[in-house]
Every structure is written in structure tokens, then in C-alpha cells.
Amino acid sequence: MKKILILMSETGGGHRASAEALRDVFHERYGAQFQVDMVDLWSEHTPPPLRHMPKTYRFLVDDVPWLYKFIYEVGEKPQVTEPVMKAAAKFLQTFVSRAIRQYNPYLIISVHPLMQEIPLQVLARMKRNTPFVTVVTDLITIPPVWFDENATLCFVPSEEGYRLARQAGLQPDQLRQYGLPIRPAFARKPRPKPLLRQELGMLPDVPTALIVSGGEGMGPVGEIARAVAARLAADGQDGERSAGQLVVVCGRNQRLQEELEAHDWPIPTIVKGFVENIWDWMAACDCIITKAGPGTIAEACALGLPILLSGYIPGQESGNVPYVLKHGIGVYVEEPWQIAEVVSGWFGPQRAILEDVAERARQLGRPQATYQIVEEIAGLVGG
């Protein structure tokens, strides 16, 4: 059994979801041929304060976004990141090399921008020629720290990603472009909506909006949910049926979940925390209201789910907004009352537009990307 180690970090939900996607497809396709381990080197194998990096990320992005934006922009400059990464690799040599010896992988896959140069330098100092594969999990705005010329292969999810990788010095024979790795359930044909809805405790035949904002439930989710619910309640006043129902997935944001669970909703509404079967919830809905997270956008496309973007993390998600608009797979609206207006239209007189958007999303989706990526990686180690 050959060991593969996936380096990820829980900064947001996307890196973990992509790591799980790769691990699960390895398992599905190759069974016992490979043992795939996932590790967050930052929180499990570095000393404080570095090990708190994932938690700090959550705090910065949600509570001090201007500071996060500043740090992100500084981090886009190779003249800044290169010496910092070199120093970090030196400082973390003992910790990272210990982890590598412990897992003793035959091949390493990294799905995190801050786990590229560091492990590559550590491997070089250890004189190990373990193949090292980068799987980029940003969609459009991809900072140069992702790209290291010493990677054996680098998988980029988009043409823009390919262009940026070339600009950073990677060669065409190092690069592959398939799409963002999403979990294998997104590649399966979903069960019919009414059935899924019944299973999930929803009304089977009422238009449904899903609100989700990354793994951490960031941003003004509560305000948006209340505005959409109020608008759909008003729309349904004359008829017998509700004009819509709502699902709000709060991710790991427990405070938000508690607040929304206590709310008196004017339309049928389900509030959830972090759900493991997000594909079922997505497939049961008619549109998704989300921040511009790359994972969520790729997953929505795979299921042909129209996207209403309500915000983005400045920097890393900026490019995803024009991507969604350019491909006609959704709209971008920030104000909660305007978001409610769009949903009201989509569930009412603009139903045909919603269907067109869904079709374009389906065409853009790359549900097989994870399988293609895994096959190539397995090929590197004789799978």
C-alpha cells in the first residue's frame, strides 16, 4: 500500500472539502492500493503562535476584513513572500520534517497556498525526492505563493489559473487544467427534488432558496435570510401556498445558528449548522445565495444551481465575482432587500431566467475534475 499525504488547512471550508474530495476518489478508484492521510501541518505540527493560524484567519476575515485585505495584498508580492517563506521553512524545518518522517509518504499533495514552498524546501533539505503535487483550490484570483517551480505537477482549475501559473514560471509540462476538485457526490446524478426535500424535512413542491456562506458562515447571513423570508412571505399572501421556503446553512458559525434557530420565520425555514451532505441540500434547492467561495461556486455549477453572490472575501475571492457574471451563472447583489427582490423574481415572473441560468451553470460545471486529477496523480506513482 502506497502512502499519500494531503496537506491542507482549515482556513475556510474549501481546502478541507477539496482534500476530502481527493481522498475519497482515491479510495473509490484505487481502494487498498493507496493509503491517503490528510493533515493540517499548521495546527497539528507547528509551534504557537503559528499553530493558531487557521483560527486567526477566521477572526481576521470576519472581524477585521480591512486588515486581512492588507495582509493578503502584501502576500501577493513575491518580493515579500519569498523571503518570508524561506525564513519560515528554515524555522519550521524540525517540525515539518518530523511530520514528514512520521507519515513517510510516497507522494505529497498540497491543497493550501501556504503549504507549498515550506514543505518543498524541507523535503530538499531532507534530501527526499518525494513527488510533490499542487492542487490549486482558488478559482480565479490565485496568489503567486501557490506556484512553486519545484512542484512535480500543478493542477489549476481555470484558464486564468493556467495563465498565472505560467507567469509564475511553471512550465506547460508541469501544468494540468481540469477544474476545482469537488467531492465525488457532486458527480452523481442527484435524486429528484421532491424526494430529497421530503427526506430533508422540507415542503416537496415549493421553490426553495439555500443560503450558505462558506464553511464558517461568514458575513450578513442573518440579515439576508430575514429579508428573503419577509419578501417571500409578502409574495405569498394572496395565494394558499407559500411563495417559497428557505434553508440556511450556518456552517461552523454556532452563534449565527443559535440566533437563526430562535427567530420566528414567516415562511417554512430550516436552519442548520455544518452539514456533511451539502450536495443533498444544494440539489434540493432552486438557487443558492452565497459569498463567492470557489468551492461553493464549483459545486453549484456541478449541480446546475443558479448563484446569487452576496459578497466576497476581498483578494482571494475578488476574481470569482466577474467569473460568475461573465458566464451568466448568477448575479451579484449585496443589499439584503435587493437579494430578496432577485429571489422573488426568480421564484415568480422570472422563472424562465432562473432556468436559463441553471442550464449555463450545468454546462460550466466540471463534476469529473476530481476523478481526472486523481487519475493523473495515481499515474505518477504507478496507480
Interaction site with ligand UDP (CB under 6 A): 12-14, 17, 212, 214-216, 249, 251, 274-275, 278, 293-296, 299
Q: How far apart are CA 339 and CA 229, in angstroms?
A: 11
Nearer to ligand UDP, 13 or 113 (CB): 13
Measured from the CB of residue 354, what is the shortest distance to ligand UDP in angstroms?
21
b/e code 204-218 from CB counts within 10 Å (16+ = b): eebbbbbbbbbbbbb
Contact between 132 and 110 under an 8 Å Cβ cutoff? The reply is: yes
The three cell numbers of residue 311 are: 459578497
Least spacing, CB of residue 362 vs ligand UDP, in Å: 17
CB nearer to ligand UDP: give 221 or 331: 221
Q: How many CA atoms lie within 13 A of 232 on its CB side?
A: 28
CA angle 18, 164, 79 (to 5 degrees): 105
Q: How far is the CB of 17 from ligand UDP (least distance, A)?
A: 3
Q: Give the side-chain half-sphere CA count within 13 A for 292.
A: 26
CB of 250 to ligand UDP, least distance (A): 8
Q: Measured from the CB of residue 234, what is the shortest distance to ligand UDP in angstroms?
A: 29
Q: Which residue's CB is nearer to ligand UDP, number 13 or number 161?
A: 13
In angstroms, what is the minimal distance from the CB of 216 to ligand UDP? 6
DSSP bridge pairs for 210: 247, 288
**Least Å from the CB of residue 293 to ligand UDP:** 2
Residue where the block lists cell 491542507 = 8
Q: If you write DSSP's letter for every residue of 225-263 in order, what string do you get?
A: HHHHHHHHHHHTSSSSS-S-EEEEE-TT-HHHHHHHHTS
Task: Give the DSSP H/E element, type plus range, for residue 359.
Answer: helix 351-364
Nearer to ligand UDP, 50 or 275 (CB): 275
Q: Work out how close the CB of 173 gets to ligand UDP at its nearest, in angstroms, rounded to a whole number.
A: 29
Looking at beta carbons only, is 16 or 45 nearer to ligand UDP? 16
Minimum Å distance from CB 24 to ligand UDP?
13
Closer CB to ligand UDP, 16 or 231, in the complex:
16
Contact between residue 316 and residue 146 where contact means Cβ atoms under 8 Å apart: no
- E strands of the chain, at which residues? 2-7, 34-39, 107-110, 132-135, 153-156, 175-177, 208-212, 245-249, 269-272, 287-291, 307-311, 330-332
Q: Which residue is nearest to ligand UDP (CB)?
A: 293
The count of residues in the chain is: 383
Distance CA 146, CA 246 (A): 37
The residue (of 249 and 308) whose beta carbon lies closer to ligand UDP is 249
Are 354 and 287 spatial neighbours (Cβ–Cβ below 8 Å)? yes
Query: Of 298 and 333, which CB lies nearer to ligand UDP in the complex structure?
Result: 298
Identify which of residues 253 and 344 has a Cβ nearer to ligand UDP in the complex: 253
